[in-house]
Amino acid sequence: MVEEKKVARERRITVGTVAVGEGGKKRVMEALARGRISGGKFVQEFEEAFAAYHGLKYGIAVSTGTDADAVAVATLLERGGRRGDEVILPALTFISVANAVLHAGLVPRFADINADSYNLEPAAAEAAISPRTRAVMAVHNFGRPAPMGELAEVAARHGLMLIEDAAEAHGARYRGKLVGTFGAMAAYSFYVAHILTTGEGGMVITDDDELARLCRSLRAHGRACDCKVCVLNVDSSYCPLRYKYGDDTDIRFHFERVGFSSKMNELEAALGVEQVEKMDDIVRARRERLDYFNRHLARHEEFLKLFRAGPGEEISPLCYPLVVQREAPFERFELTKYLEQRGVETRPAFGCVPTQQPAYKWMGHREGEFPAAEHVGARGFYIGCHQNITDEDAAYVVAAFDEFMKKY
Ligand X SMILES: Cc1ncc(COP(=O)(O)O)c(C=O)c1O
b/e for 264-289, b at 16 or more Cβ within 10 A? bbbbbbbbbbbbbebbeebbebbbeb
Question: What is the contact mask toward ligand X in residues 198 to 217, using x (rule: CB under 6 A)?
Answer: ----x---------------
Q: Which is nearer to ligand X, 139 or 352 (CB)?
A: 139
In the range 63-122, which residues lie near ligand X by CB under 6 A?
64-66, 69, 93-94, 96-97
Main-chain phi, psi angles of 37, to 5 degrees: -110, -15
Region of 61-69, 130-138, 143-151, 397-405 interacting with ligand X (CB under 6 A): 61-69
Dist. CA 136–CA 82, nearest whole Å: 16
* Rounded Cα gap, residues 117 and 238, in angstroms: 51
Q: 3-class secondary structure for 266-325?
A: HHHHHHHHHHHHHHHHHHHHHHHHHHHHHHHCHHHCCCEECCCCCCCEECCCCCEEEEEC
What is the nearest approach in angstroms of ligand X to the Cβ of residue 241? 32
Selected catalytic residue, list 170, 194, 300, 386: 194
Which is nearer to ligand X, 94 or 260 (by Cβ)? 94
Q: What part of residues 222-261 is at the interface with ligand X (CB under 6 A)?
A: none
3-state secondary structure 319-371: CEEEEECCCCCCCHHHHHHHHHHCCECCEECCCEHHHHCHHHHHHCCCCCCCH
**Contact present, 39 and 61 (Cβ < 8 Å):** yes
**352-391 binders of ligand X (CB under 6 A):** none
Task: Tell me if 174 contacts ligand X by CB under 6 A.
Answer: no
CB of 6 to ligand X, least distance (A): 35
Number of residues lying near ligand X (CB under 6 A): 15
Give the interface segment with ligand X, choosing from 62-70, 125-133, 295-303, 360-368 (CB under 6 A).
62-70
User: Residue 382 or residue 404: which is nearer to ligand X going by CB?
Assistant: 382
CA angle, 71 then 75 then 77, to 5°: 125
Angle subtended at Cα 383 by Cα 379 and Cα 384, rounded to the nearest 5 degrees? 155
Return the residues of window 144-173 that contact ligand X according to CB under 6 A.
165, 167-168
**Nearest distance from residue 95's CB to ligand X, in Å?**
9
Phi, psi of 53 (to 5 degrees): -55, -35
Residue of minimal Cβ distance to ligand X: 65
300 has catalytic annotation = no
Longest pairwise C-alpha distance within the chain: 80
Of 58, 174, 191, 260, the one binding ligand X (CB under 6 A) is 191
**Does the protein bind ligand X through residue 317 (CB under 6 A)?**
no
Under the rule (CB under 6 A), what is the footprint of ligand X? 64-66, 69, 93-94, 96-97, 139, 165, 167-168, 189, 191, 202
Could you give the residue numbers annotated as active site? 194
